């Protein structure tokens, strides 16, 4: 059970950092994790950050706050939550653009547009009927 709590805490830590583009201090991260039900101190959060960094996650120290405490950022978005940033309306617009490409060209562009449409449907787990038939 303790291992599951640790994994959940670290996952939450990554999600919190993902939605903090200017970074957060270890104290702020600790407070946010505690607000989500994880009972942790600043030392635990700091150890988690270092462990994630050594595991290859793109974490970096980025400036300081008013109290001169170092802010930590996730240097680039992870694939886990980046997909969630695309709205249904944006998917429809992208599908319309791809449909125009397919209808207006032959060769590689047409093949690539169809391939991209299939990936969108698969990765975003959206219904195939929301993508124009010419793309499938």
Q: Residues 44-80: pLDDT tens digits? A: 999 999 999 888 888 888 877 777 788 898 876 555 4
Residue 96 pLDDT level (bands cut at 50, 70, 90): confident
pLDDT number for residue 104:
76
Q: 2-76: what CATH class?
A: mainly alpha
What are the boundaries of each domain within the chain?
2-76, 86-135
Q: What is the pLDDT of residues 101-120, one digit of tens each?
A: 777 777 777 777 777 777 77
The 59-64 sheet, strands edge to edge = 24-25, 70-74, 59-64
């Amino acid at each position: 059970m303790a291992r599951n709590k640790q994994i959940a805490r670290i996952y939450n830590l990554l999600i919190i950092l993902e939605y903090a583009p200017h970074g957060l201090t270890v104290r702020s991260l600790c407070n946010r994790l505690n607000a989500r039900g994880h009972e942790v101190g600043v030392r635990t959060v700091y150890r988690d950050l270092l462990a994630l960094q050594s595991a290859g996650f793109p974490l970096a120290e980025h400036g300081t706050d008013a109290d001169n405490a170092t802010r930590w950022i996730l240097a680039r978005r992870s694939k886990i939550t980046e997909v969630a940033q695309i709205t249904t309306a944006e998917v429809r617009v992208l599908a319309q653009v791809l449909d125009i490409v397919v209808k207006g060209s032959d060769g590689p562009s047409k093949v690539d547009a169809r391939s991209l449409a299939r990936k969108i449907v698969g990765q975003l787990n959206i219904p195939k009927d929301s993508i124009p038939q010419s793309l499938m």
